[in-house]
Amino acid sequence: MDMPIELTPAKLNAKLSGLRDAWKWFVVAGAALTVLGLVALGNLFAATLAVMFLTGILLIAAGIVQILHAFQARGWGKILYWLGSGVIYAIAGGIAIEKPVLASEVFTLMLGVVVLVTGVFRIIAALDARPALGWGWMLASAIVTTLFGLLITAQWPLNTEWLIGLVLGVDLVFQGVAWISFGLAIRRHV
């Protein structure tokens, strides 16, 4: 049986003291992420294309790994599975690189459907959690997620040239601000 760990302020400071000298790196990395996010937000279409290009490269690399793995598999069923899977990945990656707008259309629709379905499942989970403390917050969050999914799918395909770039830009800005805040908190409190 695991024993609970008592974490006093002194023990926490001792554990974080190794980060004391690293606070500047968090601030610099956070600033870089924030700038990259702002650049992405400044040109959503280019950011979307960049995401599609990177996704294409990763899919091709994953396809190559799976094809190579097919030669290590035993039995025709497993060989064909890994070979077929690798070829599909590589083709999808090639399409993402050669036709990034088409890839962004597919990705945006998939994103909308996934967010919509996730929201519906979260509504069900929130209603199931009733009358537990905080279930209303779960429901509110689930409704917002569902509405966001509806908005994405209702605007498709008009939003395909900018939505993925927007998500990337917002994510980078929030990561950057979080890292800057973390670094400054380390400097102040450790």
Per-residue pLDDT 10s for the chain (190 aa) are 555 667 777 777 776 677 777 889 999 999 999 999 999 999 999 999 999 999 999 999 999 999 999 999 899 999 999 999 999 999 999 999 999 999 999 999 999 999 999 999 999 999 999 988 889 999 999 999 999 999 999 999 999 999 999 999 999 999 999 999 999 988 887 6
Range of the domain at 178: 23-189
CB 17: neighbour CB atoms within 10 A? 11
Could you give the count of Cα atoms lying within 13 Å of 163 in the half-sphere of its Cβ?
A: 23
- Look at residue 37 and tell me if it is in a domain: yes
* Planar angle of CA 147, 104, 33, nearest 5 degrees: 80
Total number of domains in the chain? 1
- Look at residue 12 and tell me if it is in a domain: no
d(CA 145, CA 129): 17
pLDDT of 165 reads 95
- Look at residue 79 and tell me if it is in a domain: yes
Alpha carbon distances (Å) from 49 to 56, 100, 122, 143, 179:
10, 6, 31, 30, 26
| pLDDT tens column, 68-114 | 999 998 999 999 999 999 999 999 999 999 999 999 999 999 999 99
- Look at residue 171 and tell me if it is in a domain: yes
pLDDT of 9 reads 76
Match 């088409």 to its residue by tokens: 102
d(CA 120, CA 139): 10
- Look at residue 132 and tell me if it is in a domain: yes
- Look at residue 13 and tell me if it is in a domain: no
- Look at residue 17 and tell me if it is in a domain: no
pLDDT of 112 reads 95
pLDDT of 31 reads 98
- Look at residue 42 and tell me if it is in a domain: yes
pLDDT of 114 reads 96
